[in-house]
């Protein structure tokens, strides 16, 4: 039994040394894809949305959920996080300002 545990530990350590990730980390689905889909749904934009589309959708959402208009701080933070995630996903190539 101890030999089996030692062997399992050595295999896990070897995988970590080669790939830089533990074996159980490689089995998990990337949460980023789910987060991107949720952010798109929150802002109401499609997969091919440009930077301007994302920024415009964010502005429209902020107008609706702002605390001065009956919304909450958490809704504003959620909208900002969705915008930031989608803009980061676009990458540096689409950095022109609207």
30-94, CATH topology level:
Helix Hairpins (1.10.287)
CA pair distance 54, 40, nearest whole angstrom: 9
Instruction: For residue 62, give the nearest of 45, 87, 83 by alpha carbon.
Output: 83
Over the chain, what is the mean pLDDT? 85
Q: What confidence score (pLDDT) does residue 93 get?
A: 44
Q: What percent of the chain has pLDDT over 90?
A: 40
**Highest-scoring range by mean pLDDT, 2-16, 55-69, 83-97:** 55-69
Q: What confidence score (pLDDT) does residue 92 get?
A: 45
Q: What percent of the chain has pLDDT over 70?
A: 87
**pTM, 2 dp:** 0.61
- Domain spans in the chain, listed from the N-terminal domain onward: 30-94
């Amino acid at each position: 039994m101890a030999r089996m545990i030692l062997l399992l530990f050595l295999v896990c350590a070897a995988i970590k040394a080669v790939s830089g990730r533990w074996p159980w980390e490689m089995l998990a689905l990337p949460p980023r894809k789910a987060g991107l889909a949720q952010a798109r749904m929150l802002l109401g934009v499609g997969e091919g949305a440009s930077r301007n589309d994302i920024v415009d959708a964010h502005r429209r959402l902020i107008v609706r959920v702002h605390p001065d208009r009956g919304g909450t701080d958490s809704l504003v933070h959620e909208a900002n996080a969705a915008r930031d995630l989608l803009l980061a996903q676009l990458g540096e190539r689409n950095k022109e300002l609207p």
